[in-house]
């Protein structure tokens, strides 16, 4: 027996500007924080950067043709602030024209454009004025959002303000693993609040300008479990991770307040002084859509294990934990299979997360729920027959689509799923070493090759159901 997806369920794939576009110095684009960060020795594996990436800037018509071949109903991409408004100056006609042409190409292929305004690439000129730690950046983000809408609002219906503000704030400003590479608990907290504020300002302004748009935000969320539910230290560890990763963003957005326990945890870092009257009302704008990015869950304790890392540092620099108030919290392996990122494969965590988010946040708010990213890196090889037989990725995809169906069976109205990523690309501090695509990219020739997983996804999309083989795997 196969398992069908509900009518109207959207199937897509996702990318982000800096990870695929290349053309970093073309048509007026200037540096983002990722251009600057990747030049610092030791920050990125093999000192790789996004100067060329997948050369999507020049190959977007071919890439859209591939999307059409796969049968994608929607494509989630991001616009580069540094291309649209170099150094946050006036709008750059050539920069915005690229996105205009991309959108036209998508529309003529029958693919719904899903636009994200910010996927981690702040103009470096703004970082030099304090970046997201500077409250003014929130207002500048609103102005940039309106600039993009001025040019594309007539053709793009779905607008996501931010991708994973947790990563922007805490991996960028506290752990130092991502751009801009700062290692400060207070900077991460300030960045987190100002990103939320920027979201709220942009959301209100976009909505006033265009009441018909579908407006949302995307968060990376986890399922944090205590190693031993009977040990108070473990339970508190799980509470902290949930608070500092999930609820730090979910609660202000949907409930108009920061969680009390989180405020207690970070009080000694001066967090409350940052939050001004009216900020939370500004942040908690009504949302039409909400995106969950899910990769894995976490099992935590206040007792260390052999591998006591909360996050991975690709280049083995001295970096910090991304959690500002979780010193003494340790991640424990669950013994599940891992991807090439060493992330455990835990599809049931996606079901559990969707059920929780649906029940506690999006459901009561009447906000549509989507999985805007989910995917896996594997050490793909091109076989002698010229194909990539990535059975591990196909299984990953099927298991997670199965988890989405499980959540739907439990009554959560999940409206769509985006695989991360359409194609292999620049995996941030890991450079080109990690491949997440359902399409392989040969970085010497820029040739694209649909992997077996891409064919499997295309078949699922065409049938609008999971095949029987997937169900057998799911039953295991």
Catalytic center residues: 164, 373
Q: How near is the Cβ of 270 to ligand GBH at its closest, in Å?
A: 25
Evaluate whether 396 touches 338 at the Cβ level (below 8 Å): no
CB nearer to ligand GBH: pick between 96 and 241? 241
Alpha carbon distance 470, 476 (integer Å): 10
Q: Are strands 439-441 and 448-450 parallel, antiparallel or unpaired?
A: antiparallel
In angstroms, how far apart are the furthest CA atoms of the chain?
63
Output the six-digit token pair for 386. Answer: 């010229």
118: how many CB neighbours lie within 10 A of its CB?
Answer: 27
- Smallest distance from ligand GBH to CB 205, Å: 24
**CB hemisphere CA count around 413 (13 angstroms):** 12
Q: Are 325 and 241 in contact (CB under 8 A)?
A: no
Closer residue to ligand GBH in complex, CB, 282/372: 372
Cβ nearer to ligand GBH, comparing 167 with 287 = 167
Nearer Cβ to ligand GBH (57/432)? 432
Residue 343 phi/psi, 5-degree rounding, is -85, 135
Give the residue numbers of the binding site for substrate: 19, 119, 163, 295, 420, 427-428
For the bound state, the minimum distance from the C-beta of residue 373 to ligand GBH, rounded and expressed in Å, comes to 5
Contact 149, 158 (CB under 8 A): no
Q: What angle, 0 to 180 degrees and rounded to 10, lies between the N-to-C axes of helices 93-108 and 56-70?
A: 20
Minimum distance of ligand GBH from residue 164's CB (angstroms):
5
Closest approach of ligand GBH to the CB of residue 366, in Å: 26
Annotated binding residues: 19, 119, 163, 295, 420, 427-428
The number of beta carbons lying within 10 Å of the beta carbon of residue 274 is 18
- The conformation of residue 5, written as its DSSP 8-state character, comes to P
Closest alpha carbon to 44 in 394, 319, 369, 253: 319
CA 33 to chain centre: 17
Q: Shortest distance, CB of residue 129 to ligand GBH, whole angstroms?
A: 25
Classified as helix, coil or strand, 332 is strand
Whose tokens are 């050539």? That residue is: 94
Binding positions for ligand GBH, rule: CB under 6 A: 16, 163-164, 167, 220, 293, 295-296, 310-312, 343, 373, 420, 427, 436
Q: For ligand GBH, which is the closer residue by CB, 288 or 313?
A: 313
CA atoms within 13 A on the CB side of 60: 21
């Amino acid at each position: 027996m196969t398992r069908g997806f509900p009518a109207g369920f959207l199937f897509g794939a996702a990318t982000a500007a800096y990870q695929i576009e290349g053309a970093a110095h073309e048509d007026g684009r200037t540096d983002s924080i990722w251009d600057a960060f990747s030049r610092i020795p030791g920050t990125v594996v093999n000192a790789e950067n996004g100067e060329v990436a997948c050369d999507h800037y020049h190959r977007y018509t071919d890439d859209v043709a591939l999307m059409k071949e796969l049968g994608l109903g929607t494509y989630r991409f991001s616009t580069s602030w540094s291309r649209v408004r170099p150094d946050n100056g006036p709008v750059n006609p050539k920069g915005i024209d690229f996105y205009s042409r991309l959108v036209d190409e998508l529309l003529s292929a029958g693919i719904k454009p899903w636009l994200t305004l910010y996927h981690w690439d702040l103009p470096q000129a703004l970082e030099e004025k304090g970046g997201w730690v500077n409250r003014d950046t929130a207002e500048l983000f609103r102005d940039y959002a309106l600039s993009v809408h001025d040019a594309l609002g007539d053709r793009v219906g779905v607008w996501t303000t931010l991708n994973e503000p947790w990563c922007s704030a805490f991996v960028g400003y506290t752990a130092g693993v991502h751009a801009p590479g700062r290692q400060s608990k207070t900077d991460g907290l300030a960045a987190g609040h100002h990103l939320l504020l920027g979201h709220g300002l942009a959301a209100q302004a976009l909505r006033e300008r265009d009441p018909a748009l579908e407006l949302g935000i995307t968060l990376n969320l986890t399922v944090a479990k205590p190693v031993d539910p009977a040990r108070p230290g473990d339970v508190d560890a799980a509470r902290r991770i949930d608070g500092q990763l999930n609820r730090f963003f979910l609660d202000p957005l949907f409930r108009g307040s920061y969680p009390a326990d989180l405020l207690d945890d970070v009080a000694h870092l001066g967090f409350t002084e940052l939050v001004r009257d009216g900020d939370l009302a500004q942040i908690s704008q009504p949302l039409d859509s909400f995106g969950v990015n899910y990769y894995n869950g976490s099992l935590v304790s206040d007792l260390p294990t052999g591998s006591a890392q909360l996050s991975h540092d690709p280049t083995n620099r001295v970096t910090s934990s991304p959690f500002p108030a979780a010193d003494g919290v340790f991640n424990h392996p669950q013994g599940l299979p891992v991807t090439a990122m060493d992330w455990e494969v835990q599809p049931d965590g996606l079901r559990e997360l969707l059920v929780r988010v649906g029940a506690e946040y999006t459901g009561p708010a009447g906000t549509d729920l989507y999985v805007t990213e989910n995917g896996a890196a594997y050490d793909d090889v091109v076989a002698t027959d010229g194909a990539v037989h990535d059975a591990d990725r196909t299984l990953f995809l099927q298991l997670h689509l199965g988890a989405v169906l499980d959540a739907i069976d439990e009554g959560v109205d999940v409206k769509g799923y985006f695989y991360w990523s359409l194609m292999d690309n620049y995996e941030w501090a890991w450079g080109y070493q990690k491949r997440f695509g359902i399409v392989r990219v040969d970085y010497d020739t820029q040739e694209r090759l649909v992997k077996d997983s891409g064919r499997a996804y295309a078949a699922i999309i065409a049938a609008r159901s999971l095949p029987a083989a997937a169900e057998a795997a799911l039953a295991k």
